[in-house]
Chain A
Amino acid sequence: MLAKRIIACLDVRDGAVVKGINFEGLRQAGDPAALARRYNSEGIDELVILDVTATIEGRRALARTISAVSRELFIPLAVGGGIRTDADAAAAVDAGADKVSLNSAALADPPLITTLANRYGSQAVVVAIDAKRQDGRFDVYARSGKQAASREAVEWAREAADRGAGEILLTSIDKDGTRSGFDCELTAAVSSAVSIPVIASGGAGTFAHFVDVFTEGRADAALAASIFHFAEHGVAALKQHLHTAGIPVRL
């Protein structure tokens, strides 16, 4: 049976892992390669390296970090942050990324999704959607949650899939960093609307939150950062919990 994936996100700035609350107030959490190694040994299913400040400050994803991680870990590795052109994507892929995650660039230039899907295959193209509740809708934001994109999340996810995206990485801005649980309503709305996998992100605080997002939220995968970084909850313990709750996971 296809397992629900647990994905660890390494938000990286200047070569170090950081994690913010509601995208602000970044604090230090460690060396990306060392952290990736630890997660791998604990049974993480996939890694995402996100250059959190890249889009704002014009930096590209950290090729050296990607290369170091991909040289020793043989699980899927996605890279996002600052990927604006096919050349940026090529740099990440050449460094060892299996997938590139597009956010602001896909909103600004939707055909880029198709260009990259044609070049690397849809499985290599993740469209990241940052959504915020607004009057009963889910509004999409660009530039690390700073700029309203005048798009609705479900409709944008559908378009991204039609244009060749292989997966949707869906983050609730309202929930991000709060540890109050995933936005299951948002996740279920998007997951039901597309046939490609949806990775839920933002709000993981307890093991029960993961159970909720895999059942109620219909997520195919769940991503978290801070819950893993500070070793409060091990990946292995989380998976055991999910297994006991009847959620199929890779043990």
Chain B
Amino acid sequence: MTTVALIDYKAGNLTSVRKALAAIGAEVYTPERAGDLARADGVIVPGVGHFNATASLDDEWRAAVRARVDEGRPLLGICLGLQWLFEGSDEAPALPGLGLLPGRCHLLDAGGQKVPHVGWNTVDIMPASAVPAGAVSAGAVSADAAPPGAVPAGAVPTGAVPEHTRALRGVTSGTYAYFTHSYVAPVTAACVATTTHGERFAAVVERDHVMGVQFHPEKSGEVGLAILRNFVALAEERREGRG
């Protein structure tokens, strides 16, 4: 059975994530110490609420998460966990993110619509050409990351099922997922799907085995479970590939 570490840093309740992972047959544990991450086939950083909560993920935790990523183990950030993958957030400017992905998170500009953005919204998958090939740099933010302007504005047509993203394998572009957040991650080269609520922001990011979803897969019905299955399947493959 594939073992997933679900990091509890007191940013919201993890019962729903735990239940969803149980439903798809993953073994879940909550590491007490950073050192406990060593036995994880995959690591999930969940979380809702203020970016300040990520302060609990101190240097030791950050080093342990990076170490698992460097060893090729998949990492999935959910909601606040996705935002933590970036360099930081305007919500808590002094606090660094994990910095695996370039860019900073900012307050959603909903263009007069309500913030927080709560509810089911469409996930529009980016065309394959927009997703850069090449290995993820797990050690540092890569300097050659494309600026937001370099990303094509298009999306895979609604209804199409793309092949180029592992996180969204089998997921139909234009499908609905459940969101609840006020801050967003920018649309950069790491973005494989976007959502629009006023402005267009990163709904799903993916750089090799580093993934993040702004919505809640544990609350997004069958689509959400499919994404969690994709993550767990990757974790399982990587484990079996271990010499």
Q: Which residues of A contact B (CB under 8 A)?
A: 1-5, 40, 45, 70-72, 74-76, 93-96, 98, 120-124, 166-167, 195-197, 220-221, 250
Contacts and interface: CB of A to CB of B under 8 A. Distances in A.
B49 interface: yes
Interface string B99-124: 00000000000000111111111100
Contacts of B224: 74
Contact of B197 (A2, A120, A124): A2
Contacts of A70: 15-16, 19
B221 interface: yes
B20 to A, nearest CB: 5
B215 to A, nearest CB: 11
> How many B residues are at the interface, by size bracket?
20 to 34
Give the residue among B113, B119, B220 with the most A Cβ atoms within 10 A: B119
5 contacts: A2-B120, A75-B178, A76-B219, A124-B12, A220-B114
Nearest to B220: A74
Contacts of B180: 123, 166
Given A45-B119, A98-B219, A2 B19 contact: no
B48 A123 contact: yes
Given A74-B23, A98-B13, 11 more contacts: A1-B121, A70-B15, A76-B219, A96-B15, A96-B16, A96-B19, A121-B11, A121-B12, A123-B116, A195-B116, A196-B118
A124 B176 CA distance: 20
B108 to A, nearest CB: 11
Interface of B: 11-13, 15-16, 19-20, 23, 48-49, 113-122, 176, 178, 180-181, 196-197, 218-222, 224-225
Nearest to B181: A123
B53 to A, nearest CB: 9
Contacts of B176: 3, 250
A71 B15 CA distance: 10
Give the residue among B115, B218, B219, B224 with the most A Cβ atoms within 10 A: B219
B116 A75 contact: no
Contacts of A221: 119
A121 B218 contact: no
Contacts of A124: 12-13, 48
A120 B12 contact: yes
Nearest to B228: A74
Contact of B115 (A40, A96, A195): A195
Contacts of B49: 121-123
| 10 pairs of A and B residues whose beta carbons are closest in the complex | A121-B49, A123-B180, A250-B176, A121-B48, A250-B120, A3-B120, A2-B121, A197-B118, A121-B12, A93-B13
A95 B18 CA distance: 12
A228 to B, nearest CB: 17
B150 to A, nearest CB: 26
Contact of B219 (A74, A95, A166, A196): A74
Contacts of B122: 1
B114 A195 contact: yes
B193 to A, nearest CB: 15
Nearest to B118: A197
B121 A166 contact: no
A74 B48 CA distance: 17
Contacts of B48: 121, 123-124
B114 A196 contact: yes
B54 to A, nearest CB: 13
A123 B219 contact: no
A76 B178 CA distance: 8
A216 to B, nearest CB: 17
A197 B13 CA distance: 21
B19 A123 contact: no
A157 to B, nearest CB: 13
Give the residue among B13, B120, B197 with the most A Cβ atoms within 10 A: B120
Give the residue among B20, B23, B116, B222 with the most A Cβ atoms within 10 A: B116
B20 A74 contact: yes
Contacts of A3: 119-121, 176
